[in-house]
Amino acid sequence: MTFWTKIAGFILRNRYLVLAVIIGITAYLVSQTNNIRFSYSEANLLPENHQVNIEYNKFLEIFGEEGNLIILGLKDSTVFEVKKFNAWNELAKKLDNTPQVAFTVSITDIKKLEADRKNRKFVVNPLLEKTPSTQEDIESIKKQLFEELPFYQNILFNEEGTIQTAIYLKKDIVNTPERADFINNYLIPEVKKFQKDNQLDVRISGMPYIRTLNSQNIADEMLLFVAGALLITAIIFFFFFRSFRATFITMLVVGIGVTWAFGFIGLLGYELTVLTALIPPLIIVIGVPNAVFLINKYQQEVKKHGNQAKSLQRVISKIGNATLMTNITTASGFATFVFVKSQLLREFGILASINIISIFILALLIIPILYSFMPLPQKKHLNHLEKKWMENVVNWMERTVRHHRITIYITTVVIIILSMAGLSLIRVSGSLIEDMPKGKQFYKDIKFFETEFGGIMPLEILIDTKRDKGVMKLSTLKKMEKLNETIETFPELSKPISVNNLVKYSKQAYYKGNPKYYQLPTSQEQSYIFAYTKNSDSNAGMLKNFVDSTGRYARITTFMKDVGTDKMDIIQERLNAVIKKQFPDEKFEVSMTGKALVFLKGTNYLIKNLVISLSLAILLISIFMAWMFRSLEMILISLIPNMLPLLMTAGLMGFFDIPIKPSTILVFSIAFGISVDDTIHFLAKYRQELLANNWRIKPAVYSALKETGVSMFYTSIVLFFGFLVFTVSSFGGTIALGGLVSVTLLLAMVSNLLLLPSLLLSFEKKIANKKVLKETNFKILPPKEKSEK
């Protein structure tokens, strides 16, 4: 009695106990779903000890969280009517008084810096000494704002008359659920009320706001994907099997699998991110093919001899091992992410591999047990096994392999050449907002602020002068000004904000507020202007945003538009050239950082991780094939049909300008992990047929093609439409992922059913001879029983 026969006996004898255990585990995992939490920070694709992260963490230690800014914008000249103007300022005051807000900066908060000649110090006086009541008051404020206060330009207004209010959240709530609570339950309702009362269109943006709405979108879409994947796979499954019973059992299995997937996310304490949200629908799409192979085999056995117990026992013993191997290889493909240093990918790999093995176990246990309680399938349920159109498809594949192998090889070579041409066009892109839903209002608002103010994603430059009070030396300020001027030459960056703005404002204040003096002081002016500054504590609060308490560190803040890694590399290169020239290493240490830059750098790092994980997956499959066939040629033959679809996908990405980015980078690992399943099923059956046909390769290949062709066709169609569900997403990356994986798996099916058997036949003298087969003691499928009719 074989191992799998014993397993089959145990499952069927203890079916009540097995079902009780499944119910118990499911109940426990359902309780763990309460621990599921959304990600409240950007995905950090880099390991903690990476230089980019070290520099970012250093910046946070000195200046604190930089992604705490929410901005409200208005581009409407009627806002400068008395009622609307006062309502705009009242909105800012309301928001300023909420416990989640550290402070707001709006027109009502503008302070004019003025020189107190008597006491030789600067004082600040409010721009709005009283609430304006007439249009003349408003016009006076407008004149001062747009003509006399360049310090606030591109912070609170621009030259076109667009105004904005800056809301700085308390830094300790930025990465917590409290942030989402404030935005959803207070900020958005208040803004909507203001819009309705004043007939003004307010734009909202800033990283905390974007992240909150994006997280909600991810959660909503995950439920949509799960429902969509269940519906479409159920319809396709029923179309093939024409059995409500088989469809119900399959949906029950994947339904429990999805429940387990959510439970494992909660149990392991992982956050719900763009990647982990893909796990539940992924499990549906991978779980259904398991059911296809198991139910198809059960129905084939029933058709042969009509003995239910024997049929169920053979489903487990014959298909169990092959299905286990295919699921292990799929899980191994995902598990290779465990070895990369990116926490985000590691979590995805762990969850995917655990859930793939779980869905296999569930299918292997539940399907035979439920069928054991049911009567034998009726004749109408078995008719799909003899469908004429399906038989014609399989016969066409056999004829093509038998008579047109040269055509298959020529086509393969042409595809490889075209794919290589497409591969040369592929580009890398890493942008925080590139994949965000283009139709959503918050994406349109991002574009509004990019046009009006130059972007919303902060890029920080940290300057270490290596000595206390080094920042306020005029020579340092002049070096910073050179860097500021370079930043202003980039259309992708906003005007920079730094201590220089405040120093220039101090000079303007010294010269009675004349805007033409808004510039750095000369060396002669420096001593008496800085003397006023030292005597004054009025601008200390403003200064602490740009310089640390010791005066050693300064920051320059600019905001980026939606740029990819290629443009960012050019910007960095030019800025680094200026930094190198202006800030010699022996006197200064300068680093560029910020969440957006960390994300961009993470994209490049991710590509290296992809190469590592894909290489590991290929190595694992090679080891498995070597163990199975003990033949180097066999390893190459089994890998070619799986590498070809990946190459074709890369070519398509190049031709259709779909960049490699965090959202599309998983295409290759997912597709390779799943497409290898077809190869294993085919080769497992081929090896069984070799033994049955006394090591004659031709009849073994054709028999394997006929028997596995139907199941491979069914599973590939289910996978194709299952992954196609992702294309209904509003996220660009998810759409690309779904479409590319669908196409890749369809190509993999064709490759495994035409190219793989062709290669086996062409290299028949070098592979799977009698000696090789006798040397290997591994049996993926038991030999055919001679008693079978």
Residue 465 to residue 470: CA distance in whole angstroms: 5
Residue 774, pLDDT score: 47
Q: 59 to each of 379, 466, 486, 553, how far by Cα in Å?
A: 72, 15, 22, 10
Q: 766 to each of 748, 760, 762, how far by Cα in Å?
A: 24, 9, 9
Residue 576 to residue 574: CA distance in whole angstroms: 5
Runs of H (alpha helix) within 268-387: 279-305, 308-314, 320-335, 343-372, 379-382
Q: Which sequence spans correspond to the domains of the chain?
A: 3-41+212-424+599-775
Residue 260, pLDDT score: 95
Give the phi and the psi of residue 113 in degrees, each rounded to 5: -85, 125
Neighbours of 144 (CB within 10 A): 14
* Positions of E strands within 561-607: 589-593
* DSSP characters over 163-208: EEEEEEE-GGGTTSHHHHHHIIIIIHHHHHHHHHHHT---EEESHH
Does the domain at 3-41+212-424+599-775 match CATH 1.20.1640.10? Answer given as yes
Closest CA to 590 of 417, 465, 418, 740: 465
Q: In sequence order, what are the beta bridge partners of 101? A: 169
Residue 733, pLDDT score: 74
Residue 781, pLDDT score: 46
CA geometry: angle 713, 717, 722, nearest 5 deg: 150
CA 439 vs. chain centroid, Å, equals: 19
* DSSP characters over 398-435: HHHHHH-HHHHHHHHHHHHHHHHHHHTT--B---SSTT
Q: Give the containing element (helix H, strand E) for 572.
A: helix 565-582
Chain position carrying tokens 């070290």: 54
Answer for the pair 545, 68: CB distance below 8 angstroms, yes or no.
Answer: no
Residue 721 to residue 204: CA distance in whole angstroms: 37
Residue 527, pLDDT score: 81
Q: What is the mean pLDDT of each successive set of 10 residues along the chain, which is 789 residues long?
A: 80 92 96 80 72 89 81 91 92 92 85 84 84 89 87 84 89 83 93 93 89 80 83 85 86 93 91 80 83 82 83 81 78 78 82 93 92 80 67 86 91 93 83 72 87 85 93 92 92 90 90 91 85 64 78 91 78 91 93 83 75 76 73 79 87 87 75 77 79 81 83 82 84 81 86 89 65 46 44
Residue 597 to residue 570: CA distance in whole angstroms: 13
Give the phi and the psi of residue 316 in degrees, each rounded to 5: -70, -45
* pTM above threshold 0.85: no
Residue 36 to residue 34: CA distance in whole angstroms: 6
